[in-house]
Structure 1
Amino acid sequence: MSDETARLGLPFIQPGQAQKELYHNEALALLDAAVHAAVESRGDDVPPATPSAGQSWIIGAAPTGDWSGRAHNLATWTASGWRFMAPVEGMRIWLRDIGVFSFWTGSAWRDGELIGEALVIQGKTVVGLQQSAISDVTGGSVLDGEARTAIAAILSALRAHGLIAT
């Protein structure tokens, strides 16, 4: 039997282990930080001078001080000091400073991106996979110039938003 869980690295209580409450409490502290996680910011390399209990950060790529060797980890301040958790693929954390979710791809944090196959609202697909390009309007007479300009502006806006291909 391993000493910790396979995914989040939470400590197991071993048979015959002394002071089981220490391991149980450590697991609870890590779960408290990881479940419905929200952090103050992402990418800081220097620990804050006066953190409050329960505050968390996603550590940057070149950490120093108490955070050394913990690049990209979730760091949470507790009454007993820093607790660290390595991210697992798919972990999502709310970034309080910019108001978006960040998710761990397995090698990097990605901020503010929603990845999916479609946007469905009340059971109706509103935005699906991008379709093939729509050609610009051609031909016609001089009388349709304003319509042609309006259609071109609509197509340009849809392309700019990625809703139709270029």
Structure 2
Amino acid sequence: MTDFSPRLGLPYLQPSQAQKHVTVNESLAALDVHVQLVVQARDLATPPAAPNEGDGYLLPEGATGAWDGRAAAEIASWQDGAWTFRTPQAGWRAWCIADDTLLLYDGAGWASLFTADTDQGRLGIGTDTPAYTLDVGGLVASSGGSPGFYLVETDYAPDERIWRVTSGSGNFFVQTMNDAGTVAQQALVFTRSSTAVDSIRLLTEGTIALYIDSTQNVSVGHTSPSTRLHVNGPARVGQFAVGSLPDASVVGAGTIAYATDVVGGAQLVYSDGISWKTIRNGSDISE
């Protein structure tokens, strides 16, 4: 049997040991510090002049005074008028009062798990200074087989994943999922080359609704636009009575509309930037 416990290094009572209460009290004092570990600060390099009994600190690099020569990340606690030191083990957690931060010792140093900004109601994960209601200092990934994250509507069960944002095969996707979270359907796709977006696709019912290519040509209903606007099907413009047409100089030259009460019968009209004219013969609709 060893003299100390393997995890906290607490001294064991030995056979025929005198002054057993000293060993027991030493173990209790260590437990009082390290169970539900709370420290005052984690960046104080000089010991405080008047610490309170039981105060603890996580030592930084280059500590001085009574902490001089101690290893960074050690736990210093003030007990019975003196500093005692403990080396943490991987997995230990500590609450830092100065930062309102829960810390985890990963075997090399103390890392922040999350930070609660109680004044602003903000939660930070992996950051000490959350700037938003939820501020994640790093990537967010799903627990599934592909990278991404899920947004769940509040009126569904937790396992019913409704929206999925994911990145794979050089593309960025927004996908919808069924109520059971088992079938995904693309809704919005950004195809990229390096850091540039080459095309944007908007889909409904799994079919292309709108497509924008790298030259900013736009197609409706297909993915091969050959002009600035390429519609796979009939196109319809707005209908106006002549008196309701917008100002031709405001909408600009080249604008098309359908006028319902032009002299000679309803027809397409266009703006030349000054007035509206009929496509049929180019005459001003006011003539």
| Cα deviation, residue 111, structure 1 | 1.9
Change (3 A) 1:65 1:125: farther
Q: Secondary structure at the match of 1:22?
A: helix
Equivalent positions of 1:1-166 (< 5 A) are 1-71=1-71, 72-113=73-114, 124=158, 131-132=166-167, 133-134=172-173, 135-136=189-190, 137=200, 138-139=211-212, 140=218
Cα distance in structure 2, aligned partners of 1:126 and 1:56 = 45
| Cα deviation, residue 112, structure 1 | 3.6
- Structure having the larger proportion of residues in helix: 1
| Cα deviation, residue 107, structure 1 | 0.9
Deviations 1:95-129 (A, max 9, x none): 1111111111101111244699869x9x82599x9
Cα distance in structure 1, aligned partners of 2:43 and 2:67 = 12
Residue type of the alignment partner of 2:79: T
Contact kept in structure 2, 1:8 and 1:86, CA below 8 Å: no
Identity %: 33
| Cα deviation, residue 21, structure 1 | 0.9
| Cα deviation, residue 130, structure 1 | 7.8
Cα distance in structure 2, aligned partners of 1:75 and 1:126 = 47
Where do 4+ consecutive residues of structure 1 move more than 3 Å?
A: 112-119, 140-143
Deviations 1:26-53 (A, max 9, x none): 1111110111111111032221110001
Deviations 1:42-80 (A, max 9, x none): 032221110001211111122222223332111111224
Contact kept in structure 2, 1:30 and 1:83, CA below 8 Å: no
Cα distance in structure 1, aligned partners of 2:3 and 2:165 = 47
Change (3 A) 1:109 1:22: same
Cα distance in structure 1, aligned partners of 2:20 and 2:158 = 51
Change (3 A) 1:109 1:26: same
- Structure having the larger proportion of residues in strand: 2
Aligned residues: 141
Query: CA RMSD for the aligned pairs?
Result: 3.2
Gaps of 5+ in 2: 115-124, 127-140, 144-149, 174-188, 191-199, 201-210, 213-217, 220-227, 230-287
Deviations 1:1-46 (A, max 9, x none): 2111111111111111111111111111111011111111103222
Residue type of the alignment partner of 1:43: D
Gaps of 5+ in 1: 144-166
Q: TM-score by structure 1 length?
A: 0.71
Cα distance in structure 1, aligned partners of 2:142 and 2:82 = 42
Residue type of the alignment partner of 2:158: K
Q: Which has the higher contact order (CA 8 A, sep 6+)?
A: 1
Q: Secondary structure at the match of 1:124?
A: coil
